[in-house]
A and B are shown apart, each in its own frame.
Chain A
């Protein structure tokens, strides 16, 4: 019941906060709007994490003496609500920048509005490459959008890198089925998988895209079993609980490996009644993993304050506030165009690694640079109710463990 009380508490906080904002805006505060999905696993960490960052900055005297104020909007996971929230944030609440959503569809709907209303927007969790491809197509209008999370194609590359080290090399796996949900972010992800999996020696024997409304995954797992692959490479975010639970209850003997956004959340064990045991998932950070010196202090502070662990979008949202603050400092004010210029020059070590945006002229301007020296990502596995990092080696705290029902063909050979 903890989450219920927790929600009541944050609800009350939100009300109090909303009431408090009225007199507070008299000061020359910097306002950052947060448009997020309060009721979704990944989205619910965004606002608290941003709040935490703002409080830390304010405790150290703010940005050039100006306090940061976070204004939160719940978008109910809806593009229409988000557009309305964005309009309200800019026109009514006069925010200086917006941190928006983990859903690519929402960000894609907001992107032109950020351009139309000339307001800096950064997404802490959306993944679609299209967001940055759009910027390349119409830089002058869309330059206000920054992609604060990995693009899908980068994610695909990271998953392949991990698969090579964790599956192909030690277990001689040879074939894979891609299972991903039908959504904006998975189109480039799947394309990335299709390209990089064969390169590391995993033959793609089938490729299944399913509707995010799917509730019964039995036919899907069945089809996959029929294909006899060594591993299921996942690309799921909106769905999570149901495929995981049914994977376990049907004892599908093939490991799941890849992107499973909901699995990054610490409550996922309870949501699935432990069915997530043995699932591999990519993340930019994980509990107990000191990706950078800032990672663990953030997680501790978050856990102390809110009683649970942040989702992946929580880490990035926390960093985003710092980056926006820096940009304002560098720009010497809150003029949008100057903030954009300053953001483009960001070189910041945050909780998930070193953040540098790709420049104008790149096919994906304003996307994060990845790879050695920048952001490498992690591969974690749920083991006994804990998220254990197993890749890359230098950050690993444990090693692969297989649930009993997984039958490794290579091992049997």
Chain B
């Protein structure tokens, strides 16, 4: 590998600096900052999973929360029903597995269509899940939300480390996957489906894999977050507004970069909290900033770090 040009290395050093800060943070930061970052890191995994599907497979998924919600609720319900007879880790794994199954179930009809129709199909999936949760209130806790008896730990720095490691590992896997042969084929089919087919690649199969991987990490992150917060509710895991935040995070950070999605998520959550003293205005201001970034720096934070010049 030849040396990267300077702008890329600026990105590298920024990343390294961010990593170092993240590593040292538990020594200095208060439990509150750690708690905030814990949530941000889980959201980062949501956004990275979304980016894999959009950026690489070229499919705009309006329903990331469908996968997250299935993972979170499966894990939460299992624990609420069977605790203490079941280990949380088993619940988390079951959540991820359920998300994968849901992902396949969603992908089969969704991959038949494209563009806005794909978007709508995924959106409908979210609405259906939301309706299901409300209707099956006995099982899911309905609008009220599901109280989960167990949490992984209440120690802020332990939670921070779990979330941080989880984000780093999933980020590495997703990033690696995006640069791996599968990622390249996915990108090729996202760019030009016909040509990818003519080169001998089964486009549908690869997109399905992207769906499964995206579903796995979304579901896993959702399940972990349930056992961090000790509660699962439509408003925090399934609602369309949660999905919107994930999409905005990924686009804000820079599409097709995986890492950018994580940056966007940390920024959104962090800014929202930083501006919390402004009360009701916080979300408004964050949205305005995000809109400006999207309009004037379409390549997002990663694009800005690269110095605007696209190689």
- Chain A residues engaging chain B, CB cutoff 8 angstroms: 7, 11, 14-15, 18-19, 38-39, 72-74, 76-80, 83-85, 87-88, 90-93, 104-105, 108-109, 112-113, 116-117, 182-184, 211-213
Interface residues on B, range: 20 to 34
A87 B32 Cβ-Cβ under 8 A? yes
**Beyond A11-B279, A182-B134, is A79–B35 a contact (Cβ under 8 Å)?**
no
In the bound assembly, the distance between CA atoms of A112 and B236 in angstroms comes to 18
**Beyond A79-B236, A80-B236, A183-B144, is A74–B280 a contact (Cβ under 8 Å)?**
yes
Q: What DSSP secondary structure best describes chain A's contact surface?
A: helix
Q: Is B230 an interface residue (CB 8 A)?
A: yes
A14 B230 Cβ-Cβ under 8 A? no
A74 B233 Cβ-Cβ under 8 A? no
In the bound assembly, the distance between CA atoms of A77 and B280 in angstroms comes to 12
Contact partner of B39 among A7, A38, A76, A84, CB < 8 A? A84
Known: A91-B32, A92-B33, A184-B145. 10 other contacts (CB 8 A): A14-B277, A14-B278, A15-B279, A39-B280, A74-B282, A78-B235, A91-B156, A93-B32, A105-B145, A112-B151
A15 B32 Cβ-Cβ under 8 A? no
A87 B31 Cβ-Cβ under 8 A? yes
Chain A residues lying within 8 Å of B39, measured Cβ to Cβ, are: 80, 84
B143 A211 Cβ-Cβ under 8 A? yes
Q: Is B304 an interface residue (CB 8 A)?
A: no
Within 8 A of A (CB), among B22-74: 30-33, 35-36, 39
Contact partner of B229 among A14, A83, A88, A182, CB < 8 A? A83
A116 B281 Cβ-Cβ under 8 A? no
Q: Is B154 an interface residue (CB 8 A)?
A: yes
**Beyond A116-B154, A182-B143, is A14–B279 a contact (Cβ under 8 Å)?**
yes
> What are 11 A-to-B residue pairs whose CB atoms are below 8 Å?
A11-B280, A11-B281, A19-B277, A74-B279, A79-B235, A80-B39, A91-B31, A92-B30, A105-B145, A108-B147, A116-B154
In the bound assembly, the distance between CA atoms of A212 and B144 in angstroms comes to 10
Contact partner of B273 among A72, A84, A104, CB < 8 A? A84
Q: Is B142 an interface residue (CB 8 A)?
A: yes
**Beyond A74-B279, A91-B35, is A80–B233 a contact (Cβ under 8 Å)?**
yes
Chain B residues lying within 8 Å of A11, measured Cβ to Cβ, are: 278-281
Query: Min CB distance, B42 to chain A, in Å?
Result: 11
Specify which of B144, B154, B276 lies most central, judged by the most chain A CB atoms within 10 Å of its CB.
B144
B278 A79 Cβ-Cβ under 8 A? no
B35 A87 Cβ-Cβ under 8 A? yes
Specify which of B142, B279, B283 lies most central, judged by the most chain A CB atoms within 10 Å of its CB.
B279
B36 A212 Cβ-Cβ under 8 A? no
Chain A residues lying within 8 Å of B278, measured Cβ to Cβ, are: 11, 14-15, 18
B32 A92 Cβ-Cβ under 8 A? yes
Chain B residues lying within 8 Å of A79, measured Cβ to Cβ, are: 145, 229, 231, 233, 235-236
Chain A residues lying within 8 Å of B281, measured Cβ to Cβ, are: 11
Query: Min CB distance, B246 to chain A, in Å?
Result: 14
Query: Min CB distance, A217 to chain B, in Å?
Result: 17
Q: Is B18 an interface residue (CB 8 A)?
A: no
A91 B145 Cβ-Cβ under 8 A? no
Q: Is B137 an interface residue (CB 8 A)?
A: yes
Specify which of A14, A87, A104, A108 lies most central, judged by the most chain B CB atoms within 10 Å of its CB.
A87
